[in-house]
A and B are shown apart, each in its own frame.
Chain A
Amino acid sequence: MLVFGFQGFDSGTMNVTSLYASETATASGNSLKKSDSHRGSRIEGLAAIAAVEPILKPEKESDRSKIERKLRSLIRKPLPDDPPSEFPQQADQGRSLNTPVAADQATLAIKDSAAGMAKSAASMSPVAPPISSGSSISTISPRVPASSAIAGTAASPPGSSMGAAGSGGSSSGGGRSMQNLMRQLPGLQQLLTAQPATPGPPSELIATPAPPLGPPQAGLPPAPLNWPAYHVLNRLAYGGTLNQLNTVSHLTAQEAAVWAVRYMKEQLELDPTKPWPTNLHSTEPLPAPIQLNDSALSQRLAADRADWRTEEGLPDVLSPSLSELQDYDLIRKVYSRRQLREKMVYFWDNHFNTNYRTHSKGQYELAENEAFRANAFGKFLDLLMASAKSSAMMIYLNTDVNRKENPNENYARELQELHTLGVDVNGNPNGYTQADIVEAAKAFTGWTTLDVARPGFRFIAGRHSPGAKQFLGQTVGGNGGGPGEGEQVLAIASRHPATAAHLAKKLCVYFISDRPSASLLNEVAAVFTDSGGDIKKVLIAIFTSQDFNNVANYRGLVKTPLEFVVSLHRNLGVWSPIDPFRNRLVRMGQGLYEKAPPTGYKEAADEWLNTDTLFNEVSFAYEATIPGFGSTIRYGSDTSGGSARLWLKSLNLTTEADVLGFLLNLTFDRQVSLTEYQTYLTTLRSAGGTFNLDNSNVETPIDRALATMLATPRYKYQ
């Protein structure tokens, strides 16, 4: 029997129909009794999802007690000042991810019912209509999903949830009965949330595979006519999903242009039916964000968290290991519909680089990362403040031991050298001096971490250096001190024009080109300054710029290893365990959360292109395709069992041109040279005879053709 810890539910037998029925009945209010402080909170929902999710893991008898233990570890007694929101909307960095609060009754109920969960799961019958059918849900939720079908085209909505072309949609993984059940009963999902029901992602039209492709002309292959749609997927996302790429392949040039703009607006949380905002050079706020529904991702994340270890002696504090953190982050990168947000989260996590190995507390990195996620499109100063006051950063750069008797300059230096004003090409500071470093260090004295187990900030007045400080030509504090002096330093640094230029450059290199034009940099820096560091406005300026929309910059970047591995998963609709992926990424030299120097990972291609990285990328391409090369990756659908041949067959492809049109679309936007095309064709034909997907002897040729595609230079272009 499933009990979600809400009062009002009979702890006797329940069936799905009644659950769903009561859900629709409680559309506007909430018949589930909640205390006021939890209204609008998703915490119980998440705790309850977490309570349910463990079942979604492969169910073995021996796992039962493990699941029960994990369930208990996820519940804790409410603390009086617990924040209600798991995802703080302000730079409220000192909160750990795991702040579920459940009523005591719920605690007992869940404990008692844990044993009964498996049994009741089996008794549930899939009678509820899938939530993703759209219309009924939109009447419930006050929030209209941002992605609605493009009128008049057969294309699936941009930003729609990722699904494989086959049946085994990667959003739910395949082959596990409970997951299938959850997919058919998304109503459960709704019940678990305390707030008015948010619809699941809108139903996604499964696009037909890309059209067949014959050999191109000799010479430099031109950009495809519909390049803008591919381009936004390459840059605002970690590559297109299989379904998105299929969709785009059928668009005309004009449709692609429209599609691209719509995609960008959705990723920027703007209303796609409205024109671009024009108030970039002011501090006037943008319209309220329209966030894409990421509930499918939330389910995956909850399942992933279920295995996490906890802080020693504190079962309420999740303390993921480095590998767990990395896997969690990679799940987000691969499966989030809010791709641009994830790209920005990585940007900020890297810009404000910290290293797990300096503290070994997963909860610190997690809290910091969540703060970046909450503020990814927000104000730069909020991000800076979240970083400065994070336990991860305070330990990494010794803020936590910075005191008046012996100020520690480490953070003060990197704050200016790396996070804000920056240095020029020769390594010279862009407007700060050693004196500014010394003074800033004094301003930060007394700042330290909250405690060992829980990330957070506190201020120790006795450590604070008294007196006024001179920082970048301004006087800071001196009248009592307090953490406000450090905050002033951050504010002053964030407003310095060199900071705007520095961030503008980094963002333009990240999204547009390794050599952004001076006019672009000036404009973007001006938006940064004029908007008061409004990152969303800066991004709008970037994505509406001529530079971004210039075909000369199409496929002009090189993927970092992270982008390489994530895009491979998205492009091919991979649906296998993440683990081998994370290990390989570490070997490529881009292990997340563990870059030692504060400069973080570089963006420029020549920083990444070395033999070892290339060896690992090629090895990864082989692991994804060649049986026996250590591959545990499967792509396509669960019905094809990972076999490429059966996958292609299930898509009703038949000829070589069909197969190449489909695969070259996923990997290269259908832009290949004649030599490349001929190499793939020859490989497909290497078994001899007529190419026929019914014949198992084309299995190996297909594997090798795909292996070659993924290992080739062109797959690194972005």
Chain B
Amino acid sequence: METCSQCRAEQEDLSRRTFLKRALGVAGATLVLNFFPAESLRRSASAATNAGKTLVVVFQRGGNDGLNTIVPYTDPQYYVVRPSALIGAGNIGIPPPGTGDGAGINLPGTGFAMHPSIQPFLDLYNNNSLSIVTQAGFVGSTQSHFTDQDIIERGIFQATDGWLNRYLQAVGTAGAPAIRAAGMGSDLADSLRGNVVVPAVNDLTTFSFARLNSAKAPLESNLRALYGQDPASTSTNSYTRLVHTLGPDMLNRVAAIEAIGPAVPQNGAIYPSTTYGRQLRDVAHIIRSGLGLEVATVDIGGWDTHDDQGGGGGATLAQGARLAELSGGIRAFYNDLGPLMSNVVLLTCTEFGRTVRQNASGGTDHGKGSVWFVLGGGVKGGLYHGTAGFPSSLVDANLDSGRYIRPTVEFRDLFSDVLVKHFGVNAAELALVFPGHTHVPVGVFV
């Protein structure tokens, strides 16, 4: 579909601004980041099928060890590089299914087992709601948290804005959603940063000015008047424009959240009583409340298991605990939404996997390929190792640099699968989100 000329011009503007922002201390640096409210970028008549759909991206910060999440227990070399947790303290090897405490949960016919702590995922895998990509990542992974998270969240190396924000710019939405996108937490995820103003929402229950009572109306009126000034008439500071845009935006979001009341999980869903659990619960609530939420991000940290990674069962330490929280929250989210889940896709990411061989501190160090999950409407289910398959043996010769799981599924392809299949994004729109990338479908969707 032909993009309208105005939008094309906007997009050209976007890439020029992006380029100039990169340049340090150059004349272009005086260019202002022009933040438009979401509404003004809406376009008419897109063929995208995003109406009523939601994508939730959960980022596991720190680098989750995929090899212990989905375990190649039939490969004897696995127990060479990771001795079984059953036979010694500090060992992180997940024992084969049926061999004792903390044993893996078999995925029949695959040669793999789940880490016992992601047991909440088993039903979802069995009913084909859960696709599991075992070697996701990207060529050129640097093993730096900072850099690799940036690359994944921005989608392409040179970008300064997030891939999800570029999606919001590229594809419009019908109607006027009160909250089209939200980053859960007090720090907006990089994937949502960009020209479209996206709120960071930390705590739904306190996101309200109701307690102002009689002061609420006059104060809001004052703020709108002051924030509504043309920024150029108030200051020469270029960031004032962002402040002036955020003000009314914030007031609108607060009003929308005030209107939907507190989250009440349905269908007996029980979320972990952690910040992550609460944030997933709040996302489900916003989805159910019909505010038009299309994109949301949630973070879960604690994955950087350089030491005390632990195994499963009685040997659970850091990773097992985090996996239990991750999967418990996602399972509750799935249960909570019930039939609404058919319009929702939840995707997990992590900046890298970890070294195949465990280290001397009962942990693993930064690696490359890892396990990413895709859950929800339209998903095929099953394990995906990529076209090259999973190494038949984890000997050094089969590993990337002799140390890492090779990332054989490029994350941009996975993201593109989601955009194309779930939101119905076309090739031109996709090129705005991942310019220069050729989409090789992974095939996790029906």
Binding site for B on A (CB under 8 A): 219-221, 398, 401, 403, 405-406, 408-410, 413, 417-418, 423, 425-427, 514-518, 521, 552, 555-558, 587-589, 596-599, 605-606, 609-616, 618-619, 622, 626, 628-630, 673, 675-676, 679, 683, 686, 700, 703-704, 707-708, 711-714, 716-717
Known A220-B234, A679-B225; contact A612-B307, beta-carbon cutoff 8 A = no
- A484 to chain B minimum Cβ distance, whole angstroms, is 24
- B144 to chain A minimum Cβ distance, whole angstroms, is 6
Q: Are A708 and B219 in contact (CB under 8 A)?
A: yes
- A427 to chain B minimum Cβ distance, whole angstroms, is 4
Among all A-B residue pairs, the 10 with the closest Cβ atoms: A611-B199, A589-B186, A406-B360, A612-B200, A427-B147, A605-B239, A610-B200, A713-B243, A708-B222, A610-B188
Q: Nearest chain-B residue to A629 (Cβ)?
A: B211
- Which chain A residues border B198 with CB–CB below 8 Å? 611
- Knowing that A220-B234, A614-B247, A713-B244 are A-B contacts, what are 9 other residue pairs whose CB atoms are under 8 Å apart, sorted by A's residue number? A398-B361, A406-B361, A413-B143, A556-B236, A558-B243, A606-B193, A619-B209, A673-B229, A714-B234
Q: Nearest chain-B residue to A682 (Cβ)?
A: B222
Q: Are A515 and B33 in contact (CB under 8 A)?
A: no
Q: Are B25 and A518 in contact (CB under 8 A)?
A: yes
A714 to B240: give the CA distance in the assembly, Å: 8
| A-B interface pairs (CB < 8 A), number | 188
Q: Nearest chain-A residue to B358 (Cβ)?
A: A406
- Which chain A residues border B361 with CB–CB below 8 Å? 398, 401, 406, 408
Q: Are B227 and A417 in contact (CB under 8 A)?
A: no
Known A605-B242, A610-B188, A707-B219; contact A408-B359, beta-carbon cutoff 8 A = yes
- Which chain A residues border B29 with CB–CB below 8 Å? 515
B226 proximal to A (CB < 8 A): yes
Known A556-B236, A704-B215; contact A612-B222, beta-carbon cutoff 8 A = no
Q: Are A712 and B226 in contact (CB under 8 A)?
A: yes
Known A403-B360, A516-B25; contact A630-B223, beta-carbon cutoff 8 A = no
How big is the B interface, by class?
35 or more
B142 proximal to A (CB < 8 A): yes
Q: Are A713 and B236 in contact (CB under 8 A)?
A: no
Q: Are A606 and B33 in contact (CB under 8 A)?
A: yes
Q: Are B246 and A398 in contact (CB under 8 A)?
A: no
Stretch from B65-73, B112-120, B150-158 that touches the partner: B150-158
A598 to B306: give the CA distance in the assembly, Å: 15
Q: Nearest chain-A residue to B304 (Cβ)?
A: A410
- B347 to chain A minimum Cβ distance, whole angstroms, is 22
Q: Nearest chain-B residue to A514 (Cβ)?
A: B239
A626 to B30: give the CA distance in the assembly, Å: 39
B324 proximal to A (CB < 8 A): no
Q: Are A408 and B306 in contact (CB under 8 A)?
A: yes
What are 10 pairs between A and B in contact, CB < 8 Å?
A220-B234, A398-B306, A408-B306, A417-B146, A515-B25, A597-B146, A611-B197, A612-B185, A704-B215, A717-B237
Q: Are B360 and A628 in contact (CB under 8 A)?
A: no
Stretch from B248-256, B382-390, B408-416 that touches the partner: B248-256
Of B150, B226, B246, the residue contacting A611 (CB under 8 A) is B246
Within 8 A of A (CB), among B226-281: 226-227, 229, 232-237, 239-240, 242-244, 246-247, 249-250, 253-254
- B195 to chain A minimum Cβ distance, whole angstroms, is 11
Known A683-B222, A708-B223, A711-B223; contact A614-B146, beta-carbon cutoff 8 A = no
Known A552-B236, A606-B33, A713-B244; contact A611-B201, beta-carbon cutoff 8 A = yes
- B59 to chain A minimum Cβ distance, whole angstroms, is 12
A597 to B61: give the CA distance in the assembly, Å: 9
- B362 to chain A minimum Cβ distance, whole angstroms, is 9
Q: Are A614 and B219 in contact (CB under 8 A)?
A: no
Q: Nearest chain-A residue to B357 (Cβ)?
A: A406
Known A401-B307, A713-B226, A713-B244; contact A611-B233, beta-carbon cutoff 8 A = no
A517 to B144: give the CA distance in the assembly, Å: 29
B24 proximal to A (CB < 8 A): yes
Known A220-B233, A406-B359, A629-B212; contact A612-B144, beta-carbon cutoff 8 A = no
A707 to B249: give the CA distance in the assembly, Å: 19
- A26 to chain B minimum Cβ distance, whole angstroms, is 54
B202 proximal to A (CB < 8 A): yes
Interface centre among B201, B215, B361 (most CB of A within 10 A): B215
Interface centre among A220, A403, A703, A713 (most CB of B within 10 A): A713
B187 proximal to A (CB < 8 A): yes
Q: Are A405 and B226 in contact (CB under 8 A)?
A: no
- Which chain B residues border A426 with CB–CB below 8 Å? 22, 157-158
- B256 to chain A minimum Cβ distance, whole angstroms, is 11
Q: Are A609 and B243 in contact (CB under 8 A)?
A: yes
Known A219-B233, A427-B144, A713-B234; contact A587-B246, beta-carbon cutoff 8 A = no
B373 proximal to A (CB < 8 A): no
- A6 to chain B minimum Cβ distance, whole angstroms, is 49
Known A426-B157, A679-B225; contact A716-B243, beta-carbon cutoff 8 A = yes
- Which chain B residues border A516 with CB–CB below 8 Å? 25
Q: Are A610 and B199 in contact (CB under 8 A)?
A: yes
Of A413, A618, A683, A713, the residue contacting B144 (CB under 8 A) is A413
- A684 to chain B minimum Cβ distance, whole angstroms, is 12
Known A403-B360, A679-B225; contact A611-B200, beta-carbon cutoff 8 A = yes
B145 proximal to A (CB < 8 A): yes
Q: Are B25 and A423 in contact (CB under 8 A)?
A: no
B1-42 to A contact mask, C-beta < 8 Å, 1/0: 000000000000000000000101100011001000000000
Known A515-B29, A611-B201, A683-B222; contact A628-B211, beta-carbon cutoff 8 A = yes
Q: Nearest chain-B residue to A219 (Cβ)?
A: B233
- Which chain A residues border B123 with CB–CB below 8 Å? none
A135 to B366: give the CA distance in the assembly, Å: 63
- B78 to chain A minimum Cβ distance, whole angstroms, is 19
- Which chain A residues border B209 with CB–CB below 8 Å? 619, 622
B301 proximal to A (CB < 8 A): yes
- Which chain B residues border A700 with CB–CB below 8 Å? 215
Known A552-B236, A589-B187, A615-B250; contact A626-B201, beta-carbon cutoff 8 A = no
Q: Are B218 and A704 in contact (CB under 8 A)?
A: yes
A619 to B229: give the CA distance in the assembly, Å: 21
Q: Nearest chain-B residue to A404 (Cβ)?
A: B360
Within 8 A of A (CB), among B63-107: none
Of B200, B206, B234, B307, the residue contacting A398 (CB under 8 A) is B307
